[in-house]
Amino acid sequence: MYRYSMFILMVAFCLTAEINAQQTNASDSTMLRKIYSEALTNGKSYSWLDHLSNKIGGRLSGSSNAQKAVEYTKAQLEELGLDKVWLQPVMVPKWTRGTPEYAYVSTSTGGTKNVNICALGGSIATKKGGLKARVVEVSSFEELEELGEEIIKGKIVFYNRPMQADLISTFSAYGGCVNQRYSGAQEAAKYGAAGVIVRSMNLRLDDLPHTGSMSYGNIKPKDRIPAAAISTNDAEYLSSALALDPSLEFYYTMSCQQFPDAQSYNVIGEITGSEFPNEIIIVGGHLDSWDLGDGAHDDGAGVVQSMEVLRLFKESGIQPKRTLRVVLFMNEENGLRGARKYAQVAQQKNERHVFALESDAGGFTPRGFSFDCDKDNFVQIQSWKPLFKPYLIHYFEQGGSGADVGPLKGENVVLAGLRPDSQRYFDHHHAANDTFEHVNKRELELGAATMTSLVYLMDTYGIVKSPQKTKIKG
């Protein structure tokens, strides 16, 4: 009789748990529907991006446009009626491009052809009058080393390793060749090169050079060489021309300049948590951008989507249990100063971050998220996948998160990155066509709603905490 009673109780318990789970899922489903409806019918992300892109423009760290973006986003967050909005001071690098770059190829028969280049961020200028030298084409640092100083000295090194087109993840393709942009000048300078030209990080063939950050590492200032990106069409031309005429020369002139560090700010706003105010959830993107376009996809989209998350919480009547904070980071593109400063201050204040979500992969159709977390938290996150199915969100994978939230990595904190469709991203990345008209309003709004939905679930259920590790004495 006792066993029978226990069996009945167990069955009743399981049925009750299942009913409660169904009710919870129904409640969550209703809330997600409300979030998506608000974002798609009354969203503000697109109008915010319009202002950032068309009224302010490119926002290179330390520039007047970057400061305008700080002031504008702070004012917009204040208009949302958040519990607190503030600026977090941070010193950032200040590099300017100067006058437009100019380049041409000169053949041994006397012919010339103008080509499209742009200085890489952080590069020194060419000497007055420009630089003209013969060209050595390489596809890797290993090939550069094999050629050595005897071949390289006094010449312009042309890095021509394309992004791998058969990789479905364009970010993987980017990662497979971006070292030639970032460290190409540093490596070539070791062998006495006069300068560096790098094939743009772009999967399609066009006439737009793509800038991006580069580093000289520990190369002394007197030994540094100018570095520029060349468009993919002109990289193809230069490679073909070299095959026919190995003695051709390349000329380019750049007037870029590095200034002392400048004062700037992270922009922060928050809604105080109702139950666990000391547990902090953040959403964010980087406010700075390169200067060739207006930074609409990289990362104006991430900025306005992150702002929209807090607006959607307020408009949907969601009072977060945990403190919800938006952080618009300064200087992701050429230094990560804003991210490091935010993490440093958080550590000094002993703040407890439990979840950090970044949007920095463009304003394209959202596909899902990647998570930097332990197995237990990932299992919980995967249990929410059915809630996202109606919105065609399916990608939930463990992996990276984002450059700006990365410094917050630690025990009992989940990091994540929004993963939109990536196939068109590198058509625009760091180029003159990263502009507002290439952002689709609906795709941008879907991204903001998807971020808000994940934040809502993380806030509602909390993270799965790792067991405390016991120190063994002895």
Catalytic center residues? 332
At 452, list the tokens: 């808000």
DSSP 8-state symbol, 55: I
At 27, list the tokens: 């409640």
Q: What are residue 112's DSSP bridge partners?
A: 106
How far is Cα of residue 275 from the mean position of the Cα atoms in its chain? Answer: 32
Backbone angles phi, psi at 285, to 5 degrees: -150, 180
SS3 85: strand
End-to-end CA distance of the chain: 52
The 3-class secondary structure across 20-35, one letter per residue, is: HHHHHHHHHHHHHHHH
Is 420:22 a contact under the CB 8 Å cutoff? no
The side-by-side arrangement of strands in the sheet containing 395-398 is 84-96, 257-271, 322-329, 276-286, 352-358, 414-420, 366-372, 395-398
H/E segment holding residue 179: helix 179-189
Burial class (CB in 10 A: 0-12, 13-18, 19+), 296: buried
DSSP 177-237: TTHHHHHHHHHHHTTT-SEEEEE-S-SS--S-----B---TT--GGG---EEEE-HHHHHH
At 112, list the tokens: 């010339």
d(CA 229, CA 270): 40
Amino acid at 174: Y
Quick check: bond before 298 cis, omega within 30? no
Closest-CA residue to 434 (of 288, 328, 307, 281): 288
Q: What are residue 414's DSSP bridge partners?
A: 355
Is 269:253 a contact under the CB 8 Å cutoff? no
DSSP 335-346: T-HHHHHHHHHH
- Give the C-alpha distances (Å, rounded to integers) separating 401 from 66, 371, 372: 25, 6, 6
Mode of pairing for the β-strands spanning 195-199 and 395-398:
unpaired
d(CA 242, CA 240): 5
At 33, list the tokens: 């529907």
Is 125:248 a contact under the CB 8 Å cutoff? no
